[in-house]
Amino acid sequence: MPIIIDQKAILRQDRWTLLREASGPEVLRAAPGRSFIVPLDFYLRYRGLLDEYPGEKGVWLDSHETPEAIAGDLANLAIIALNFPVFRDGRSFTNARELREHYRYQGEIRAIGDVLRDQLFYMARCGFDSFALRHDQDPETCLAAFRDFSTGYQASIDEPAPLFRRRHDQRQA
């Protein structure tokens, strides 16, 4: 089980079960009521079954997949996990921002995969709010990552006004 940081704190109990691979719908029957994060192709294939599934559900997108595929269903999904197959693959940063800014997604966005301390700050700015750390990461060191910078120049999810607007407001005040 990976250690999860949620809202900048270490999560004691994670209710989500991430199905990295899922071939058939029997998994839903095996553990009714569990909260599952399923792969995108599984979700698209078994959407009908999932609609009737009694537990919570979410979807995870690999870095080459895009939120467009689930755009109509976002309101029913409590969590979207975005995968980093390798930390250098920056596509999931874009997916996170698109979910928040374009689709106005309000649920949890979780980083999964090669999730390392030195990428956490930018992830948080792009709209991730939970992080499944790679097994070798020290959670305490990771918590410090959210304080790497006190602010940023750009508009971001945690600071919707870019610095130039905040500077201006400050001068007006």
Partner 1 sequence: MYRYDEYDHAMLAERVAQFQDQTRRYLDGKLSEAEFLPLRLQNGLYVQRLAPMLRVAVPYGLLSSAQLRKLAHIARHYDKGYGHLTTRQNIQFNWPELMDVPDILAELAEVEMHAIQTSGNCIRNVTTDHFAGAAADEIEDARPWCEIIRQWSSFHPEFAYLPRKFKIAVCGTPADQAATQVHDIGVYLLRGDDGETRFRILAGGGLGRTPVIGQVIFEQVEEPHLLSALEAIMRVYNREGRRDNKYKARIKILVRETGADRFREKVRREWERIKDSAMKLTGAEIRRCQSFFSGPDYVQRLNGSDALEESLRNDAEFALWHRRNVRAHKQPGYAIVTVSLKQTGLAPGDINDRQLDFLADLAERYSFGEARISHKQNIILADVEQRRLHALWRELGAESLETPALGLLTDIICCPGGDFCALANAKSIPLAEEIQRDFRNSAELEEIGDLSLNISGCMNACGHHHVGNIGILGVDKKGEEFYQISLGGSSARQASLGKILGPAFAREEVPGVLHILVDVYKAQRDPGEAFLDTYRRIGHEPFKQSVYADHH
Binding site for partner 1 (CB under 8 A): 66, 87-91, 93-94, 97, 101-102, 116, 118-119, 121-123, 125-126, 138, 141, 148-156, 160-165, 167-168
CA separation, residue 46 to residues 26, 41, 68, 122, 161 (Å):
11, 9, 18, 34, 40
| Shorter beta-carbon distance to partner 1: residue 45 or 91 | 91
d(CA 160, CA 122) in angstroms, rounded, equals 14
Under 8 Å between Cβ of 47 and 27: no
Residue 110 Cβ vs partner 1, minimum distance, rounded to whole Å? 17
Residue 63 Cβ vs partner 1, minimum distance, rounded to whole Å? 9
- What amino acid occupies position 150? S
Give the pairing of strands 108-113 and 79-84.
parallel
| Shorter beta-carbon distance to partner 1: residue 16 or 93 | 93
Which residues, 6+ apart, have CB-to-CB distance to 160 below 8 Å? none
Residue 160 Cβ vs partner 1, minimum distance, rounded to whole Å? 6
Assigned token pair, 41: 């192709």
131 forms beta bridges with: 5, 111
Residue 65 Cβ vs partner 1, minimum distance, rounded to whole Å? 10
| Shorter beta-carbon distance to partner 1: residue 31 or 71 | 71
Residue 163 Cβ vs partner 1, minimum distance, rounded to whole Å? 6
d(CA 15, CA 4) in angstroms, rounded, equals 11
Closest CA to 121 of 100, 135, 142, 139: 142
